[in-house]
Amino acid sequence: MKKLLLTFLGFVVVIWATIFFFIPAFSGKITVSPGFETAGITIHYYGILMAVAILAAFIVAAKLAPRYGLSALHVEGGLPRMIIFGFLGARIYFVVFAWQYFGSHLGDIPQIWKGGFSIYGAIIGAAIGLVLYARKNSLPAGKLFDLAALAAPLAQAIGRFGNFFNQEAFGYPTGMPWKLYISPANRPKEYLTERYFHPTFLYEAIWNILVFAILLWLFRKRSQDASGGSQSGQMLGAYLILYSIGRFFIEGIRLDSFMVGSIRADQATALLMCALGLGIIIYYAYDRQKQDS
């Protein structure tokens, strides 16, 4: 009954926010601010959403951990390393590919509250942190990676709304009904006369929710084997493939893509991640076959 009530309240909040905030904000009828001040301190919505995203991922992973023969304490122990290495990776990836700007604005590098993170950098960094934690505590890395992969899309969907409040990571101009108003201060110079753009943050958030639902379905379908280890790595492989497919196409309409020559860097990374995900699935399938033979 309590879960049903919370679900209903969450649904009401989402509907209320959509009608009275997001729809007017998308049309440009209300001003979107990146944060607010209280007691002389500026609080950024980006940071709040990141915290909520991490909490959501922790709750999901902690709840599913016993199905992998792990406990919530294992998730709690690995989370700090994933957060630290994930944020470092996300920022380093972004700064490296945006070095044309940061090279002459070194003081802006630590200003993370303004945004400027890369999800692929976060994935790589978090993976490094998780491997270090698994090795130090002699835990099965495959199972930990599966838990992280299951929870990651939900966290990403929540975190993407930070782009909305910062008015960043949007796409080409559009006249679609769901078009997003971008204030002149945040428009690229070549599009100053345009008012509405593709809300690519929303496209990716929706895609992430879909990936989360698919992974949960796969998890439940194969959960009978999870504690035995046969499922280790499979969720990670599926996550890398599914997320990267969506990211590849969404990246194609973004205006802020990192370019390496004529190639969008994140599209190239998406293809590499798809190949890596497929390799992980094949590896664990082969390993399972060896164990059964």
- Contact predicate 57/147, CB 8 Å: no
Res 233: pLDDT: 77
**Tokens 């607010």 found at:** 36
Rounded-to-integer distance, Cα 64 and Cα 284, Å: 20
Which two tokens mark 75? 């998730």
Rounded-to-integer distance, Cα 181 and Cα 194, Å: 9
**293 residues of the chain, pLDDT tens digit each:** 677 787 788 889 889 999 999 999 999 999 999 999 988 888 999 999 999 999 999 999 999 999 888 999 999 999 999 999 999 999 999 999 988 888 888 888 888 766 688 999 999 999 999 999 999 999 999 899 999 999 999 999 999 999 999 999 999 999 999 999 999 999 999 999 999 999 999 999 999 999 999 999 998 887 655 444 445 778 999 999 999 999 999 999 999 999 998 999 999 999 999 999 999 999 888 777 766 66
- The model carries a pTM of 0.91
- Contact predicate 267/234, CB 8 Å: no
Rounded-to-integer distance, Cα 127 and Cα 95, Å: 19
Torsion of CA 14, 54, 25, 198, to 10 degrees: -110
Name residues whose C-beta falls within 8 Å of residue 121's C-beta, 6 or more positions apart in sequence.
Answer: 89, 90, 91, 92, 93, 94
- Contact predicate 242/270, CB 8 Å: no
Mapped onto helix, strand or coil, the DSSP state of residue 162 is: helix
Which two tokens mark 12? 């009401």
- Contact predicate 225/142, CB 8 Å: no
Rounded-to-integer distance, Cα 267 and Cα 244, Å: 8
